[in-house]
């Protein structure tokens, strides 16, 4: 079968490898759609593991069923989680599923930028979801990024009526805007440096869209009756964005850091200004649990979250490198989908 073998962002080669053999409790899935995630292009994180096949936002069809699998059959349309928790460790029992060691060790064989993937038995047991007939494979790939956003907003304790500042209007920022709007948020402002993405933010529910070169705090106060943001969602790893987030949160508010920074980035914090008298909460969110991915599919299926118009590029497997370049440039794209069967 063909795979897109990752060596670095500008060196992704179409190579031939054997179709994985499946064992007891496993499934073989033909990949119909696989989304490129912003984390896929983080070379500082990926290069140490290269060469490898990336891709974890997947949807496809079951083509082979292992012994002992009764819940799924050949021909089923499915989406799958690449990381799944054990549900029995300390972290799972206390609600921190993405801190689970099992979750961090589980994965597909190989990644989703390939014609076929083997789903290990633990993934089949707790991380496979039937795609409703009304959803396309492309829409179903959003179960993973939207699931991550659902978890993040749950951790941030977003409440109806809260004012929201979303810094970074790529795919994750836009999904945060959509979900916040559905959840009853009050005023929402989006921030980015790319005009195309600022326009997209307005289309997907932001009340205001601001270039990051402007005075964010001042503009937010003008929009929000003199107050800063109740909740700031930082959806970019840029150091300056993280610093501006700390300057833009209201007393009693929350800043959630969604995106990782480069490894050497450090942010100065003032204990007195942020915590001592102002009651600011700083938190983070990583990944999604199977429940979050399931809920994401339910929201997409119910039309509460419309993701179809977020797909700007559909590319065959041979053009995966081109897709990575489109995502890295971040100019006129929102979601890039690789279609290995085309």
**Whether the predicted pLDDT of 273 surpasses 80:** no
Rounded to 10 degrees, what is the CA torsion of 93, 98, 104, 110?
A: 120
Average pLDDT over residues 131-155: 97
The 281-284 sheet, strands edge to edge: 208-211, 188-192, 164-167, 229-234, 249-257, 281-284
Rounded to 10°, the helix 171-182/195-203 angle is 20
Note the CATH architecture for domain 157-284. 3-Layer(aba) Sandwich (3.40)
Please state, as a whole number, how many other Cβ atoms lie within 10 Å of the Cβ of residue 273: 12
- Per-residue confidence at 268, pLDDT binned at 50, 70, 90? confident
**pLDDT at position 285:** 97
Q: Domain spans of the chain?
A: 2-147+287-339, 157-284
Rounded-to-integer distance, Cα 171 and Cα 197, Å: 9
Rounded-to-integer distance, Cα 333 and Cα 200, Å: 10
**pLDDT at position 303:** 85
**pLDDT at position 163:** 98
Rounded-to-integer distance, Cα 323 and Cα 116, Å: 19
- 2-147+287-339, superfamily in CATH? Medium-chain alcohol dehydrogenases, catalytic domain (3.90.180.10)
**Whether the predicted pLDDT of 127 surpasses 90:** yes
Average pLDDT over residues 50-69: 98
Listed in sequence order, the residues at least 6 apart from 63 whose beta carbon sits closer than 8 Å to its beta carbon are 28, 29, 30, 74, 116
**Whether the predicted pLDDT of 275 surpasses 90:** no
**pLDDT at position 284:** 96
**Whether the predicted pLDDT of 87 surpasses 90:** yes
Instruction: Give the whole-number percent of the chain exceeding pLDDT 90.
Output: 92
Average pLDDT over residues 94-105: 96
- Per-residue confidence at 269, pLDDT binned at 50, 70, 90? confident
Q: Which two tokens stand for residue 153?
A: 């907003």
Average pLDDT over residues 71-84: 98
Rounded-to-integer distance, Cα 265 and Cα 116, Å: 37
- The predicted-structure confidence for 166-214, as pLDDT tens digits, reads as follows 999 999 999 999 999 999 999 999 999 999 999 999 999 999 999 998 9
- The predicted-structure confidence for 156-169, as pLDDT tens digits, reads as follows 999 999 999 999 99
- The predicted-structure confidence for 223-249, as pLDDT tens digits, reads as follows 999 999 999 999 999 999 999 999 999
Only one residue has tokens 């994965």, namely 107
Q: Which of 124-128, 199-203, 328-332 has the lowest mean pLDDT?
A: 328-332
Listed in sequence order, the residues at least 6 apart from 203 whose beta carbon sits closer than 8 Å to its beta carbon are 309
């Amino acid at each position: 079968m063909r795979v897109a073998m990752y060596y670095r962002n500008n060196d992704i080669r179409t190579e031939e490898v054997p179709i994985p053999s499946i064992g007891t409790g496993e499934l073989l899935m033909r990949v119909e759609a696989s989304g490129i995630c912003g984390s896929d292009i983080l070379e500082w994180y990926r290069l140490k593991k290269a060469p490898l096949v990336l891709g974890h936002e997947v949807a496809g069809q079951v083509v082979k069923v292992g012994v002992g699998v009764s819940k799924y059959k050949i021909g089923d349309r499915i989406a799958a989680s690449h990381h799944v928790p054990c549900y029995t460790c300390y972290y799972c029992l206390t609600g921190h599923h993405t801190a689970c060691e099992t979750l961090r060790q589980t994965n597909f064989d190989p990644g989703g930028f390939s014609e076929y993937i083997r789903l290990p038995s633990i993934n089949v047991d707790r991380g496979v979801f039937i795609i409703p007939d009304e959803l396309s494979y492309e829409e179903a790939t959003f179960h993973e990024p939207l699931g991550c956003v659902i978890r993040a907003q749950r951790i941030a304790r977003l409440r109806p009526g809260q004012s929201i500042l979303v810094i970074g209007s790529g795919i994750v920022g836009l999904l945060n805007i959509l979900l916040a709007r559905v959840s009853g948020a009050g005023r929402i402002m989006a921030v980015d440096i790319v005009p195309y993405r600022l326009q997209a933010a307005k289309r997907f529910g932001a009340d205001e869209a601001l270039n990051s070169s402007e005075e964010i705090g001042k503009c937010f106060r003008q929009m929000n009756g003199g107050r800063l943001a109740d909740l700031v969602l930082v959806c970019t790893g840029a150091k300056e964005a993280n610093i501006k987030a700390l300057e833009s949160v209201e007393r009693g508010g929350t800043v959630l850091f969604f995106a990782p920074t480069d490894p050497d980035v450090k942010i100065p914090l003032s204990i007195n200004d942020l915590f001592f008298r102002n009651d600011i909460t700083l938190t983070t969110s990583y990944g999604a649990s199977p429940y979050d991915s399931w809920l994401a599919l339910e929201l997409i299926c119910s039309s509460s979250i419309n993701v179809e118009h977020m797909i700007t590029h559909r590319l065959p497997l041979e053009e995966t490198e081109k897709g990575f370049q489109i995502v890295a440039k971040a100019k006129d794209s929102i979601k890039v989908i690789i279609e290995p069967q085309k």
